[in-house]
Amino acid sequence: EDQVTQSPEALRLQEGESSSLNCSYTVSGLRGLFWYRQDPGKGPEFLFTLYSAGEEKEKERLKATLTKKESFLHITAPKPEDSATYLCAVLSGGYNKLIFGAGTRLAVHP
C-alpha cells in the first residue's frame, strides 16, 4: 500500500537557522512527488514537483531534493513568513490520486 511519512511533526526554528524536513515514501512506481505549503485554514499552495531520484528544485529559500526512498525540503535562512505546514504527497494509482503525509508544522521565530 502506498504510504507517505513526514518528520518531524513540528519544528521550531529561530530566524536564519537553516534546517530540513523529511518525507519518506513507499509507492509502487513513483510518478511524481509534490511539496505543498499550507497556511492555517487555507488550501495547500503548490511548491514543487519532483519526478526522479537526483532531481532538485529551488524557489527562494526552499530547495527540494529526491532519492529513491525519500525527499527533503531544505529551508535556508528562514524568515517568520515561512511559518506554515509543509505537506508532501505522491501520485498513486492509475489516475492522479495524491497520497499525503500528515505534514510538518514549521514555526520560525524572530
Partner 1 sequence: ETGVTQSPTHLIKTRGQQVTLRCSSQSGHNTVSWYQQALGQGPQFIFQYYREEENGRGNFPPRFSGLQFPNYSSELNVNALELDDSALYLCASSSNSDTQYFGPGTRLTVL
Q: Residues interacting with partner 1, by CB under 8 A?
A: 4, 31-32, 34, 36, 41-46, 49, 87, 89, 91, 93-103
Q: In terms of CB distance, is 4 or 64 closer to partner 1?
A: 4
Q: In terms of CB distance, is 42 or 79 closer to partner 1?
A: 42
Tell me how far, at minimum, the Cβ of 38 lies from partner 1, in Å: 9
Give the 3-state secondary structure of residue 99: strand
Tell me how far, at minimum, the Cβ of 77 lies from partner 1, in Å: 27
Rounded to whole angstroms, the Cα distance separating 101 from 18 reads 22
Q: In terms of CB distance, is 76 or 83 closer to partner 1?
A: 83
Q: Across the chain, which distance is largest between two alpha carbons, in Å? A: 45
Tell me how far, at minimum, the Cβ of 15 lies from partner 1, in Å: 25
| Burial class for 106, CB neighbours closer than 10 Å (0-12, 13-18, 19+) | buried
Tell me how far, at minimum, the Cβ of 61 lies from partner 1, in Å: 21
Q: Are 99 and 1 in contact (CB under 8 A)?
A: no
Give the 3-state secondary structure of residue 93: coil
